[in-house]
Amino acid sequence: MVHHATTGRLKTRNLVQCLSVLTAVLLGSSAIPVDAKMLKVEKDELKLGFIKLTDMAPLAIAKEKGFFEDEGLYVTLEPQANWKVLLDRVIDGELDGAHMLAGQPLAATIGYGTKAHIVTPFSMDLNGNGITVSNPVWEAMKTNIPTGPDGKPQHPIKADALKPVVDAFKAEGKSFKMGMVFPVSTHNYELRYWLASGGINPGYYSTNDTSGQIKADALLSVTPPPQMPATLEAGTIDGYCVGEPWNQAAVFKGIGVPVISSSEIWKNKPEKVFGLTDEFVKKYPNTTLALTKALIRAAEWLDENNNANRMEAVKILSKPEYVGADAAVIANSMTGTFEYEKGDKRPVPDFNVFFRYNATYPFYSDAVWYLSQMRRWGQIADQKPDAWYDETAKSVYRPDIYMKAAELLIEDGEAKKEDFPFGTDGYKAPTAEFIDGITYDGKKPNAYIDSLKIGLKAGQKLDGTTVVGN
């Protein structure tokens, strides 16, 4: 049902559009207003969900800068308690779409956890996370980290520096515990990747044991992002992987030290996506296109002119209805710097990337990487052929919708053709820009999985707590 207030707005806007077009025709002008091309959206009032993290920024900016309204959409943004609640509410139709972990649409579609066909036409950002450890763990790690000419620790810091600390915990009969935000989160997979690259086994999942702690040297468990600093301070966990502003919050509180950013684990790593049910996309194709157009414009605004708009974005995000954290904490990463130890602030210009490097395009190779990590750690119990990874990626990631939205924005004069990857097959070129230098080729997922030192290999699976197979 369209509310009376909305009906009034639509009538007014349509009247203005008609008068503008008529005036242009009468004056013989070819400059018919851009709004005349507005899509006829099937549903104009939408409720979208998000978690209070800085990478929800495209949603906040699309609303605050009027990009949603430009597309005829009246959007309510609603923060959610946690990622599970958010996903369930999208599936149930209580939310029309949401800021999601990249692994959520994939896991739901293959039936890991909640089963539902979720798709994404838009990747929300690159990078954006960090790994933080407690002060005592940091002091123990520092003895294993070389220093530069300035006397400060050399970066990036590999998990090799943490391994003796984890080994010391085990020798004392203590568990080394780390927090991450969700079992299919980007944070879980990048934390696992970093740990494993340093010889620390982060544990396996099985069909009977979904703790992810089988054979683990470090025990990973879920902690909601805003609770990470308090949980670390209480000593419940020894470290965590989370998005901003919750790494910088630990520095400001003096309770922990971020040791590495996600861009140092995998350069320009895909982070969040915008998720919708496949049913919504089929029922409301123009609404989906309009949403994608608005989000592309918001992402472009966030990165344009070398991040010139970032301080304005920080002020918007610091509002209680969005992230609600102190602006100074949000500004650290959003303006291209990152503070490790107190006083050790370093330039990290690409800590948050929203548009450049084709950040918003939903590449199939990004989806395949997350699926490869699900298989590596046992969330996908059995080996799958390479073709399965390709088919699954293409059922969830929808670059066709994205490119149609891009074409419309180019027609509208709101975007430039050179800013979009026309002609791509949806797969990025193979890359070795990982902390361990191992090459990832999205078209050869099984060979990639087999090349990783720790993790399930071809033909292997969990039988209880035992890895069996080749």
Are 297 and 441 found together in one domain?
Answer: yes
Residue 15 in domain: no
Q: Indicate the number of domains in the chain.
A: 2
Are 264 and 317 found together in one domain?
Answer: no
**Torsion angle of the four alpha carbons 135, 192, 434, 309, in this order, in degrees rounded to the nearest 10:** -60
Residue 21 in domain: no
Q: For residues 219 and 259, is the Cβ–Cβ distance under 8 A?
A: no
Residue 167 in domain: yes
Are 340 and 437 found together in one domain?
Answer: yes
**Residue 470 burial by Cβ neighbours in a 10 Å radius (0-12, 13-18, 19+):** exposed
The helix/strand/coil state of 226 is helix
Are 313 and 451 found together in one domain?
Answer: yes
Are 155 and 204 found together in one domain?
Answer: yes
Domain end point (choices 246, 268, 290): 268
- The tens place of each residue's pLDDT in the chain, 470 residues long, gives 444 444 444 444 444 344 443 433 344 433 333 443 689 999 999 999 999 999 999 999 999 999 999 999 999 999 999 999 999 999 999 999 999 999 999 999 999 988 999 999 999 999 999 999 999 999 999 999 999 999 999 999 999 999 999 999 999 999 999 999 999 999 999 999 999 999 999 999 999 999 999 999 999 999 988 899 999 999 999 999 999 989 999 999 999 999 999 999 999 999 999 999 999 999 999 999 999 999 999 999 999 999 999 999 999 999 999 999 899 989 988 999 999 998 999 999 999 999 999 999 999 999 999 999 999 999 999 999 999 999 999 999 999 999 999 999 999 999 999 999 999 999 999 999 999 999 999 999 999 999 999 999 989 999 989 999 97
Residue 237 in domain: yes
**Torsion angle of the four alpha carbons 177, 179, 182, 187, in this order, in degrees rounded to the nearest 10:** -110
Residue 454 in domain: yes
How far is residue 184 CA from its own chain's centroid?
Answer: 11
**Residue 19 burial by Cβ neighbours in a 10 Å radius (0-12, 13-18, 19+):** exposed
Are 275 and 408 found together in one domain?
Answer: yes
Are 242 and 364 found together in one domain?
Answer: no
pLDDT score, position 35:
44
Phi and psi, residue 117, nearest 5°: -85, 105
Domain end point (choices 249, 268, 287): 268
- The HSE-up count of residue 449 (CA atoms within 13 Å, CB side) is 28
pLDDT score, position 54:
93
Are 243 and 176 found together in one domain?
Answer: yes
370: CATH: 3.40.190.10
Are 280 and 240 found together in one domain?
Answer: no
Residue 169 in domain: yes
To which H or E segment does residue 338 belong?
Answer: strand 337-339
Phi and psi, residue 395, nearest 5°: -85, -15
Tokens at 199, concatenated: 């010889």
pLDDT score, position 37:
67
Are 211 and 288 found together in one domain?
Answer: no
Are 264 and 295 found together in one domain?
Answer: no
Residue 13 in domain: no
Query: Residue 228's domain spans which residues?
Result: 130-268
Are 330 and 347 found together in one domain?
Answer: yes
Domain end point (choices 239, 268, 297): 268
Residue 229 in domain: yes
